[in-house]
Amino acid sequence: MKNNLQNNNVSIEKKIDWKVIQTSMKEKIGQDIYESWLKKIELIEEHNNYVLISVSTRFIRDWITSRYLDQILQIIKKYKKNIIRIEFVIENKNNIKSKDFVDDLKKSNDNSNIDNVSFIKDSFLQYNRIDPNKNFDNFVTGSSNKLAFEASKKVSEDISHYNPLYLYGGVGMGKTHLLNSIGLSLKDKNKVMFISAERFMYQFVKSIKSNEMVKFKEYFRNTDILLIDDIQFMNGKEAMQEEFFHTFNALIEKGSQIIVSADRPPNKLTRIQERIKSRFSGGLVVDIQNTDYELRYKIIKSKTDELELFYSNKISITKEIQEFISQEIRTSIRELVGALNRIISFSRIYNKVPSISEVRVILKDLLNLSENKVTIDFIQTIVCKFFKISKNEMLSPRRSRYLVRPRQTAIYLSKMLTSKSLPEIGRAFSNRDHTTVIHSVKTIDKLRKEDNELNINIDSLKNKILYNQENEI
Ligand code: ADP
Ligand code: MG
């Protein structure tokens, strides 16, 4: 590799050795991805500043383009630095100019059937990623999700006990985690297909376009366990619902297990065929309810332990913080875990356990409740106190220097710490124009970068505003 690089510095360019590129792709992008997507790429022509490569379908081309093209280009550039872009040909279209390759193509077309099947499988498998880190063991249960958890376990132990199993609940409540856990525990002994309704749809459309419907049907009907996530996204797609309905029936008939998740109960699904809804209702329907404090605390505790193990005890989050997060972040488990991760990042970066007021700042955007309690009036009060001016002075039209900066600061903080619009903020400052608000925000933003003392003052004001809030409640 070094040699190649050195050669590149001399003006005589080497021809690209595709084998070398392949090895490098395998190393850099990973064996799995390489096997599934990149192995079959062929180098067709090498030009001065671009290469022409071939893949077998548009779908593969699009997939590679959207995910790996940058990396591939970087790899090729290492060997030939003039290359600035990659162009594709689709083999099947027979639009390859070079004669040699047409012969090659003929050869490869002879076993195109077999190839296509494996391609289809490979591509479906891409959506079939089961995450080993989302399993039954690390799914924390409480009264809101116990039933869903138990039903999922039951299905994993005793296939076709409830068929289908339909889990529903709000965003970030653990539906995908449960579906994934079911897939994980059944995949060793069964053919498991885990796909989101959106992906199913995407694949369905692709298969129609590329005349591969037969394979699509075969593939889905051949599975023992079908896990379909977020079925609500199937709404309105009539042709796909038709196909899904038949797949569903075929699977139930042959004794395969189906598990479906959605954000609402079957009868509330909109623009989904009645017969599909009634099939869903025919199995076991279980909801995951919103979390209560106990469950949130349990989850935070278990995630903290997990992370401490991972970072070998380098982080410690106080019980107070754990309680605070469990109390405040109620929207979803995803946000709850996200909040914890943020605090852990903070404590790792600054090498200290944050105080509650720091936690409030770190999680500001997640703390909807407290945000609503921060009013512009309150910000004005705190800022006036800090700069030792009266509120009348702050709101007056006077432009004395000693009033301008505090006013701008209060406007700036109102923009940062409340969700009020620019005109609303303007109104709260004696009907100032929204352009004045923009100007103040820009000025303070700029000053913060230049003036360290002001920057510190603003941070301390911010903490005061967010922190004092707690005392006021
Ligand atoms: P949904 O599919 O309902 O939107 P997810 O399953 O994606 O939600 O869950 C969001 C995040 O919260 C994931 O990281 C998941 O692992 C985690 N999570 C959800 N419920 C639990 C739980 N009961 N115990 C542990 N982690 C959970
Ligand atoms: Mg989900």
Which residues fall within 8 angstroms of residue 55, CB to CB, at 6 or more apart? Answer: 40, 41, 61, 64, 88, 89, 90, 91
CB 149 within 8 A of CB 139: yes
- How many CB atoms are located within 10 Å of the residue 407 CB? 25
The kind and range of the H/E element at 289 are none
Q: What is the mean pLDDT of residues 86-99?
A: 57
Pair 16, 53: CB distance under 8 Å: no
Q: Specify the pLDDT at position 368.
A: 62
Name the amino acid, one letter, at 88: F
Cβ-in-10-Å burial (0-12, 13-18, 19+) of 266 comes to: buried
Which range has highest mean pLDDT (56-70, 87-101, 193-207)? 193-207
**Per-residue pLDDT reduced to its tens digit, 16-31:** 999 999 999 989 988 7
Confidence (pLDDT) at 69: 87
Q: Does the C-beta of 341 come closer than 6 Å to ligand 1?
A: no
What is the mean pLDDT of the segment spanning 236-252? 93
CB of residue 177 inside a 6 A radius of ligand 1 = yes
Q: Does 146 sit in the ligand 1 pocket, CB within 6 Å?
A: no
Q: CA nearest 290: which of 134, 138, 143? A: 143
Query: What does the pLDDT read at residue 432?
Result: 96
Query: What are the residues whose beta carbons fall under 8 Å from the beta carbon of 202, sequence distance 6 or more?
Result: none
What is the distance in A from the centroid of ligand 2 to the CA of 195? 11
Which atom of ligand 1 lies nearest, measured to the CA of 229? 2
Helix extents (H) in 254-375: 274-281, 293-310, 319-328, 333-350, 356-362, 368-373
Q: Report how far ligand 1's centroid is from the alpha carbon of 343 (Å).
A: 19
User: In terms of pLDDT, which residue wins out, 129 or 462?
Assistant: 462
Q: Is 139 in the pocket of ligand 1 (CB under 6 A)?
A: yes
Q: Which ligand is nearest to the CA of 180?
A: 1
DSSP state of 35: I
Q: What is the pLDDT of residues 420-455, one digit of tens each?
A: 889 999 999 999 999 999 999 999 999 998 998 888
CB under 8 Å to 6, separation ≥6 — which residues? none
The two structure tokens encoding residue 57: 């379908």
Q: What is the pLDDT of residues 351-383, one digit of tens each?
A: 888 988 888 877 876 776 544 568 899 999 999
Q: Which ligand is nearest to the CA of 171?
A: 1
Give the pairing type, strands 257-262 and 225-229.
parallel
Report the phi/psi class of residue 110: left, alpha or beta, with left for phi > 0 and alpha for psi in -120 to 50.
alpha
Q: Which residue has the higher pLDDT, 248 or 310?
A: 248
User: Mutate which of 290, 306, 334 to test ligand 1's pocket (most atoms within 8 Å of Cβ)?
Assistant: 334
pLDDT over 70 for what percent of the chain?
A: 85
